């Protein structure tokens, strides 16, 4: 008789850490997070594209990934979009990651 092993489902903490790590798995996204976390106000995406060696469409994809993870938030001021750190989620992310690696 063959014994099958049950796979353990991932808990919400592990899924949350994985989502954050995916969002922070590219140097451009890490740069964006660092830049936004050090600012007192929001930053226009056009300002970011001038600092980075990437095009607007590539920047847009990176911002989308960070926004999906809840780490940043966007504010539309036609025709521009300003991005900021999402302070509540940023704090939660820091605690989640710190607790995950300490536990």
Question: How many Cβ atoms from other residues are within 10 Å of residue 24's Cβ?
Answer: 18
Number of domains in the chain: 1
Note the helical H segments in the chain: 12-23, 27-37, 45-51, 56-68, 87-102
- pLDDT < 50: residue spans in the chain: none
CA distance 62 to 6: 36
Domain-embedded: residue 81: yes
Domain-embedded: residue 38: yes
Burial class (CB in 10 A: 0-12, 13-18, 19+), 93: buried
Domain-embedded: residue 7: no
Domain-embedded: residue 3: no
Domain-embedded: residue 68: yes
CATH of the domain at 89: 1.10.10.10
Domain-embedded: residue 11: no
Domain-embedded: residue 88: yes
3-state SS assignment for residue 85: strand
pLDDT of residue 1: 60
């Amino acid at each position: 008789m063959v014994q099958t092993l049950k796979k353990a489902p991932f808990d919400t903490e592990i899924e949350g850490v994985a989502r954050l790590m995916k969002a922070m798995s590219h140097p451009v996204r890490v740069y964006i997070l660092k830049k936004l976390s050090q600012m007192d106000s929001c930053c226009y995406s056009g300002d970011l594209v001038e600092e980075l060696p990437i095009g607007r469409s590539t920047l847009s994809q990176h911002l989308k990934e960070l926004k999906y993870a809840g780490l940043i938030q966007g504010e539309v001021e036609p025709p521009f979009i300003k991005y900021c750190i999402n302070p509540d989620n940023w704090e939660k992310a820091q605690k989640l990651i710190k607790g995950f690696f300490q536990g």
